[in-house]
Amino acid sequence: MKRIIAVAIFIVLYNSVFAQSDRHDLYFNKLATQWDEAVPLGNGILGALVWQKADHLRFSLDRADLWDMRPMKGLHRKEFSYQWVIDQVNKKDYKPVQQLLDGPYDQEPAPSKIPGGALELNTKDWGAVTSVHLSLKNALCEVTWANGTKMETFVAANKPFGWFKFQNLQGEFNPQLIAPKYQGQVKISGDPVGGDDLSRLGYKQGTIKRNGNSVTYHQEGWNGFSYDIAVQWKKIDKTTIEGVWSISSQYPEQKPVKKAIEIVQQTVPKSFDADLSAHSSWWKDFWSKSALQVPDPLLEKQWYLEQYKFGSLARPDAPPISLQGVWTADNGRLPPWKGDFHHDLNTQLSYWPAYSGNHLDLAMGYINHLEQNKANYKRYTKLYFNSKGLAVPGVTTLDGTEMGGWIQYALSPTVSSWLAQHYYLQWRYSMDRTFLKNKAYPWLQQTAVFLENISVKDDQGHRKLKISSSPEINDNDLSAWFLQNTNYDLALMKSTFKIAAELAGELGLKKEAAHWAKIFAEFDDYALTSKEELMFSPTLAYNQSHRHFSHMMAIHPLGLIKWEDGPRAQSIIKNSIALLDSIGPDYWCGYSYAWLANMKARAKDGNGAAKDLQIFARAFCSINSFHLNGDQTKSGLSKFHYRPFTLEGNFAFAAGLQEMLLQSYAGFIDIMPAVPEEWKNLSFENLRTEGAFLISAKKVDGEIAEVKIISEKRNTTSLKLPFKAYAIASNKGFMVKNGPDGFLKLSGEPGGILILKIK
């Protein structure tokens, strides 16, 4: 009876927790005074940062497709060739490679993501800010001042504009559009981390025009590209103003989009409240997709803030999440690393939480971007590798064009393999056969064709690359190339052929499946030390603190070495993680801690995973939750103390907490496989597993009390029983059979619901 009462009380508390998300919101008693601490708003294509610059309220306005797309000067020359690089490596004459293929990225300001502009309002006479609130529930920012003025603002969730409303206004309303400084003296040049001065782009300064209650800004960019910002407002009564802003971009030879001025003119006659209602409905649906409650307030709040940012950045029809998404640096400079698409870690980590977090629809923006740029990738594959099949540059522009950089990674031959895993995850978590046939397998097939074509066999008959690398080990000099497969490249190649064989088999393509399986079998085992620790390569052990755990890709995210495989796999996983920890975090970034938490969760180490997530949230994030890469506490958690804002660490954090609560990569559903023992009461709702199942579970007084499983498609799975004894509380559309010891075999119909409770 006590257990029944405890469960009942917990369910009531659980439901009340998820009815409100106020405790996860951002609250401040003043506005931030720098852009990377600002309140973030966005809808995947448009973004705003709300902060204070001197005596002005400032909205930093951004649009995801604002790009200077000029070709990287000096990159595309006759030496732009994989074979030429191989020859230079073999000759041990690497300086020409650095000068011709690495150098342009550092030396040239573009191609690059560029900022939009800013909207400012003089608030000097309003007194001090008394409160700032970002409501996650409906992505609404509210600010109040000492004189009673109140502002509300949001970026419409599914429309190309933002709204603002000011109440209790005193005096004139006179907003100003502020253009980025595209003209002026160049003081900073050749700094890809901090960002070059915008004036290096050489644009003619744009024009700002006022016309009554509207202001417009038109900016010409490179080669016919242009963008426009427009803001218009109306007076509701003597002290209330409502207004709308938008940004539009135009590229030559592309279909014109509606101009920003047209958008605001059509929108401003409507009402702030009506669009807020539609906007709030979108966010209500977003928050209904998944939820969790854990007894660590820091981790729980950070997870909700990461979900909020994902909902602000990801859309099926918007560009994927780049380094800074729609929050490009507003400091008069280009964004860190040009704000580009880094496919050697950054874009991949940004989508990790989408799958088990039940946001497959938003993750399709990543896939759609890759599909749209496929022809450009094939051009690059032929040009650089002189090969058929599909390779993707590791550092790209908006349309997928290569930008150079440290070419071991910027032009790595296994980039399309890591991207292929995201096609696979989208298939496994959705079980969408149309997607499998039309997108997932074609990508895997073309990637496999490419890798088969450029790889060779060594004296032992093992397949290898002629030169191999491991991001970003030994940076960009000759020693960063290895003549044997690194564990990074090896894991990605093995993953490609393994998945290609599986998907071909799923589609009934027996010949292709057999061929890919044959190629898979030609790869050697991973390089290990005598202590069964994963190495960078057969000639280099993990011997340095490094931010990128590239040598451990086989453990996570690829899952080729699984804890569930038995004692030897467990030894490799434990020993490799222990080595990471023992060498220490001197040169880790925030994302390193988040990634390590995912690996520790795979190793069923809940305490270790929670500790690394706590460090990330406490030491590597700005007050607004942005991942700043360096240790902001300067407490020995990293020797990096800088603060370039990038997003991948935020989303790797969210994935890490989800990984602690639910796993399905090993072929069965594992409920709460890696939670700290002291976490006695926790729950999650509608996390997704491979096979297209939605799982909810509650733990009460240290024991899992209830599990709910929804079958989205007709499919089978196994459940590792989280109870010693259970009862079926409800069953609609499931066949339940006892499997091997401690497992249930489940067959679900579409829409099937099964509820199991502790007995």
Q: Which tens digit of pLDDT belongs to each residue from 422-435?
A: 999 999 999 999 99
The rounded mean pLDDT for the chain is: 96
Count of positions (residues) in the chain: 759
**Per-residue pLDDT reduced to its tens digit, 495-525:** 999 999 999 999 999 999 999 999 999 999 9
Amino acid occupying residue 656: G
Mean pLDDT of 230-257: 96
pTM for the model stands at 0.96
pLDDT for position 739: 85
Quickly tell me which residue has 């989508």 as its tokens: 351
Q: What is the pLDDT of residue 561?
A: 98
| Cβ density class 477-488: b for 16+ within 10 Å, e for less | eeebbbebbbbb
pLDDT exceeding 90 applies to what percent of the chain? 96
CA atoms within 13 A on the CB side of 698: 19
pLDDT at 1 (0 to 100): 46
What would the pLDDT profile of 357-374 be if each residue is shown by its tens digit?
A: 999 999 999 999 999 999
| Chain centre to alpha carbon of residue 736 | 37
Task: Quote the radius of gyration of the chain (alpha carbons, Å).
Answer: 26
HSE value, Cβ hemisphere, 13 Å, CA-based, for 186: 13
User: What confidence category does residue 575 fall into, taking pLDDT thresholds of 50, 70 and 90?
Assistant: very high
Place of tokens 């409502």: 242
Strand partners, 754: 709, 731
pLDDT band at residue 19 under the 50/70/90 scheme: very low
Q: How far is CA 373 from CA 115, 386, 391, 397, 588, in A?
A: 23, 19, 11, 10, 32
Per-residue pLDDT band at 664 (split at 50, 70, 90) = very high
What's the confidence (pLDDT) of residue 7?
47
Give kind and range of the element (H or E) at residue 512: helix 510-520
**Which residues on adjacent β-strands are paired with residue 134?**
26, 141
Position 407 pLDDT exceeds 80: yes
16 pLDDT tier (thresholds 50, 70, 90): very low
User: What is the model's pLDDT at position 740?
Assistant: 83
Judge whether residue 375 has pLDDT over 80.
yes
**pLDDT of the residue at 606:** 98
pLDDT at 701 over 70: yes
Question: Quick one: how far is CA 679 from the chain centroid?
Answer: 28
For residues 606 and 311, give the distance between their C-alpha atoms in angstroms, rounded to a whole number: 27
The Cα angle at residue 651 between residues 645 and 656, in degrees rounded to 5: 130
For the cut 90, the answer to whether the pLDDT of residue 14 exceeds it is: no
